[in-house]
Structure 1
Amino acid sequence: MGSLLSYLFGLRAAPKLFYAPKTAFVPLQSSSKISDAESISLEELVERRCPSLHDVFAQAWWLPGGNLQTAYCVVGDFSQVDQVEYDRKLLRTKDGGTIGLDFTPSATEPHLRSDTPVIVVLHGLTGGSHESYVRAILAPACSPPERGGLGYRAVVVNFRGCAGVPLTTPQLYSAGYTDDIRTALLYISSLYPEAPLLGVGFSLGANILTRYLAQEGEQSRLAAGCALGCPWDLLANSKRLKASWFHRQVYSKGMGANLKALAQRHLATFEAFPDTEVTKALPGLLQQSQTTLGQFDETITRLAGGSSPPFPFPTANDYYVWASSHVVLPDIKVPFLAINSDDDPIVSVLPVHAGTSTLSPWVVFAVTKGGGHLGWFEEGSVPGHPRRWYRRPVLEWLHAMGSDMLSAGRKGKPLREVDGFIMEEGRDDIGCKVIEGGGHVVGVEGEGGLLAGL
């Protein structure tokens, strides 16, 4: 009945796929022998190895449209599905900040081979490893093959102050700041030097992932990437968000409330640095009865969303221009899958609206008919309990990149240890070392008061 209603309401369609005029060629194993290899175009790889991208996505009939799809991300009960446990390690960065890495399977799981692919996840605006959109991928990806999974490892990079990670400096994170993921990859690479690392980013994390891959080019420590719900042109999408009264009241204020609550939670840290501009600006923000995303970015993010330079920015719009990822798409040099929906209420301007000339030969860009922002809910096997469509194409992509694609060896500059910090040859400003804290994580405590799924 649900499928019939979806069909009648016109919510069934295969994603539209966009490629550069000439796509790159990817080396794949054609058999179990490494010596048996073939090189095929990215477009042919998707046709062969990612059939779900050519199949129909049908929204759950009772969640039609981007607003309802997005709303269900927030109000849906996902506590009993896709349960994932993690082992957390805290990393101290060279500037005194702290990021949290959540590893799964946990240390109690059976030993995996040293070359087992590792999925490196970047979460959304104020999320973390607990988010249902993250677990929807990691639960099957990190289950053993005998249980229908990929048998991979995964590491979720929890940004400064998110998901229970302490904030130890007044510097936060932002959509454009890539040095924290770059730092995390130093540590992950040191742990798994023989494993291919595969990036997956959601929303804000997708923007960071895109910018990292473009900045690193052929030296990327990630062998491939996948971006879901990326905001791309932050300035254009910010203007669209502000232009609609409904979007301002619901989405902009919802995201602003999350960011404000996060800042409030770490108020003691800011107060320990009384002379910083962000600490001086914070009281006025906290006194507001309601805060939009734009107001938070104008007051806080443009000042403290990354290191100096380039922070602080004169205005939030200057920050949006700098942090946008649509302009760097041509610079990506590893296989990269981007998935957006055509009715995302938060991300309404997509790079492919201007044509495919901005796409790297390594990029495949999929746009679904419906799905909202990080929703993509379709009918599940149990009535009233939808499943996320993107799980299938993302798992197919990860399998193709981690198990089928031939790796040319570890990329990135050699690592060294200086005063206990893992660092990269030729760069002294970033590095990390493990500090006390962390432990076993089942869900995330202390995240009450934040809207999930955004």
Structure 2
Amino acid sequence: MVLSYLKSYVTNTVPQKPVPFVNKQDQTEAGLPDIIKQSVKELSEGYSYWLYPFLSSGHLQTAYTAVRKFENRDEVCYKRRLMTVEDIRYKVNDDELPYDRWEGQSTFAIDYVVAPGNEDKEHERFKPESQVLDLPPRTEYLDPSKEQSLLDDESKPLVIALHGLSGGSFESYLRAFVHKITQEPYGFDALVLNSRGCANHTITSPQLFCGLWTNDLRYLINEHILKKWPNKRIYLIGFSLGGAIIANYLGQEYDAVSKNIKASIIVSSPWSFPDSSYRLQESLLGNRLYSPAMCQNLLKLLKNHYEGHLKYDNVVDDYHKNPESYKVEKLKDFDDNFTSRLFGFNCADEYYRHASPSNRISKIRVPTILLNSQDDPIASYKSLPETEIKLNPYTVLIGTTIGGHLGWFDYKGDRWYAEPASNLFKELDKNWEINEKALKSSDLPLVEPTWKYDRIVS
């Protein structure tokens, strides 16, 4: 009984017919669950780890994540590049779709992980005129002439990381992972895709982000990574909302997904947005602490970007001029008033239903790990798509009994998931590749084309 309060235990939900991998050295075959069991035991059924003292519940793990900023831990250095979303089209079957509706005005920020000691005291000479906010800690603007060389070693795979709601590359839960995987013995390249307006990026068109806005990730991969480094092996990891964006992207891409994308890990993602919304409203801490805090962070984004471009949006402009006529206290209030309407939905509930990654998990065709804790007070474990996981050969659910939302602090105060996640990516990249020929169409779940595009088009 005492150990149940001091340890977190790992559980696995696996598919009935896992996607077959073949070993690059000896040509033996194994499924993803077997690879995890043999080579990444920290993620296998029955494994346990000691918790950080006094953080023996999901609420405590989650609160500790919010209270502690860990500024002097996992000190990752970044070089920032602003990506301009050019007014070009990408193809879905026979249709050509725009990346956004702002005709080449939009930008988003990507932060490349670089080794310490490459500081440039004059980096602001590369600062675009549109950017008015100070950069986050240990972040500098990138000299464009040096960008190609950052990822030119194509023997090294690349991890693309996405952060949680209103966060950024500076977040401690993200730095814990990218710091680990870019060091030896892993040695991956890494970059962080920051959502529009986040991590002190100044938006250049009247748009922020949402869980169904996948086109910035799509643009980054299609128009930048694959064109500059066409042989780069890509791994994806997303945290909370960032994980939902990755899952939605992979499901939308379906079997047209780039062969360069080898695997993904989705950490603390809400797979059912409606259920997570209900969970926040029904829980005392969720209703009084988590939801108001998330709402305030989003309202800060509206305030920070109003004078830039959000004032051109009628809804945001009216709120700025008449705040007393709005009730915006909780996360759902914000999504009702702003997120849903900025992206063409009538209300938060409609947005939540469409944006839930559980709608697309049956269409994922990249080996994908779902990492969730059973005591997560924000991303409800009860609404995880376990049936779909059992039917989709490409997915595995790794659960823990204690970990909270983006917590998982072990007895040393480290994020437990950082090392096993790095081990898994390294193991897959070094030793395994999917044996597509051994995968039968009958082994895959049926996919009903209920939406023509299954994405935000305009």
Tell me if TM exceeds 0.5. Answer: yes
1:191-270 equivalences in 2 (<5 Å): 191-221=228-258, 222-270=261-309
Match of 2:17 in 1: 22
Answer yes or no: is 1:174 the counterpart of 2:210: yes
Match of 1:298 in 2: 336
Between 214-223 and 178-187, the greater mean CA deviation after superposition: 214-223
Structure 2 letter corresponding to 1:401: L
For 1:270 and 1:358, locate their aligned partners in 2 and report how far apart those are by CA, in whole Å: 45
For 2:274 and 2:320, locate their aligned partners in 1 and report how far apart those are by CA, in whole Å: 23
For 1:287 and 1:279, locate their aligned partners in 2 and report how far apart those are by CA, in whole Å: 13
1:266-290 Cα shifts (integer Å, max 9, x gaps): 011245515x344334545588686
1:79-98 equivalences in 2 (<5 Å): 79-93=71-85, 94=87, 95=102, 96-98=105-107
Deviation, 1:402, is 2.6
Deviation, 1:165, is 1.1
Closer/same/farther in 2, CA of residues 354 and 263 from structure 1, 3 Å limit: same
Say if 2:248 and 2:357, in contact at 8 Å, map to a contact too.
Answer: yes
Tell me the SS of whatever aligns to 1:102.
strand
Answer yes or no: is 1:62 the counterpart of 2:54: yes
Deviation, 1:92, is 1.1
- 5+ residue gaps, structure 1, are 1-5, 31-35, 305-310, 381-385, 410-428, 431-454
Match of 2:371 in 1: 339
For 1:259 and 1:287, locate their aligned partners in 2 and report how far apart those are by CA, in whole Å: 18
Deviation, 1:37, is 3.1
Structure 2 letter corresponding to 1:397: L
For 1:359 and 1:255, locate their aligned partners in 2 and report how far apart those are by CA, in whole Å: 34
Match of 2:32 among 29, 42, 45: 42
Between 293-302 and 390-399, the greater mean CA deviation after superposition: 390-399
Match of 2:425 in 1: 398
Structure 2 letter corresponding to 1:137: F
Structure 1 letter corresponding to 2:257: S
Say if 1:117 and 1:195, in contact at 8 Å, map to a contact too.
Answer: yes
Deviation, 1:351, is 4.4
Closer/same/farther in 2, CA of residues 125 and 405 from structure 1, 3 Å limit: same
Deviation, 1:240, is 1.6
Deviation, 1:255, is 0.4
Deviation, 1:404, is 2.4
Answer yes or no: is 1:360 the counterpart of 2:376: no
Between 338-347 and 6-15, the greater mean CA deviation after superposition: 6-15
Structure 1 letter corresponding to 2:305: H
Closer/same/farther in 2, CA of residues 353 and 73 from structure 1, 3 Å limit: same
Say if 2:160 and 2:237, in contact at 8 Å, map to a contact too.
Answer: yes
Tell me the SS of whatever aligns to 2:360.
helix
Q: Which has the higher strand share?
A: 1
For 1:44 and 1:271, locate their aligned partners in 2 and report how far apart those are by CA, in whole Å: 50
For 1:76 and 1:286, locate their aligned partners in 2 and report how far apart those are by CA, in whole Å: 33
Structure 2 letter corresponding to 1:49: S
Match of 2:404 among 360, 372, 375: 372
Say if 2:57 and 2:403, in contact at 8 Å, map to a contact too.
Answer: yes
For 2:192 and 2:72, locate their aligned partners in 1 and report how far apart those are by CA, in whole Å: 20
For 1:218 and 1:259, locate their aligned partners in 2 and report how far apart those are by CA, in whole Å: 35
Say if 1:170 and 1:279, in contact at 8 Å, map to a contact too.
Answer: no
1:107-186 equivalences in 2 (<5 Å): 113-143=153-183, 145=184, 149-186=185-222
For 1:115 and 1:282, locate their aligned partners in 2 and report how far apart those are by CA, in whole Å: 50
Deviation, 1:108, is 7.0
Tell me the SS of whatever aligns to 2:12.
strand
Closer/same/farther in 2, CA of residues 182 and 408 from structure 1, 3 Å limit: farther
Deviation, 1:116, is 1.0
Match of 1:415 in 2: none
Between 264-273 and 332-341, the greater mean CA deviation after superposition: 264-273
Structure 2 letter corresponding to 1:82: D
Say if 2:77 and 2:116, in contact at 8 Å, map to a contact too.
Answer: no
Closer/same/farther in 2, CA of residues 108 and 223 from structure 1, 3 Å limit: farther
Fraction of identical pairs, as percent: 29
Closer/same/farther in 2, CA of residues 270 and 283 from structure 1, 3 Å limit: farther
Tell me the SS of whatever aligns to 1:242.
helix
Match of 2:110 in 1: 101
For 2:397 and 2:324, locate their aligned partners in 1 and report how far apart those are by CA, in whole Å: 39
Say if 1:88 and 1:103, in contact at 8 Å, map to a contact too.
Answer: yes
Tell me the SS of whatever aligns to 2:201.
coil
Tell me the SS of whatever aligns to 1:45.
helix
* RMSD of Structure 2 on Structure 1 (CA): 2.5
Closer/same/farther in 2, CA of residues 71 and 287 from structure 1, 3 Å limit: farther
Deviation, 1:51, is 1.2
Deviation, 1:228, is 0.4
Tell me the SS of whatever aligns to 1:16.
strand
Closer/same/farther in 2, CA of residues 283 and 336 from structure 1, 3 Å limit: farther
For 1:327 and 1:354, locate their aligned partners in 2 and report how far apart those are by CA, in whole Å: 13
Deviation, 1:353, is 6.8
Structure 2 letter corresponding to 1:99: F
Closer/same/farther in 2, CA of residues 20 and 294 from structure 1, 3 Å limit: same
Say if 2:163 and 2:238, in contact at 8 Å, map to a contact too.
Answer: yes
Answer yes or no: is 1:318 the counterpart of 2:327: no
Deviation, 1:102, is 0.6
1:288-333 Cα shifts (integer Å, max 9, x gaps): 68621101000110022xxxxxx31111100000000012111111
For 1:264 and 1:286, locate their aligned partners in 2 and report how far apart those are by CA, in whole Å: 15
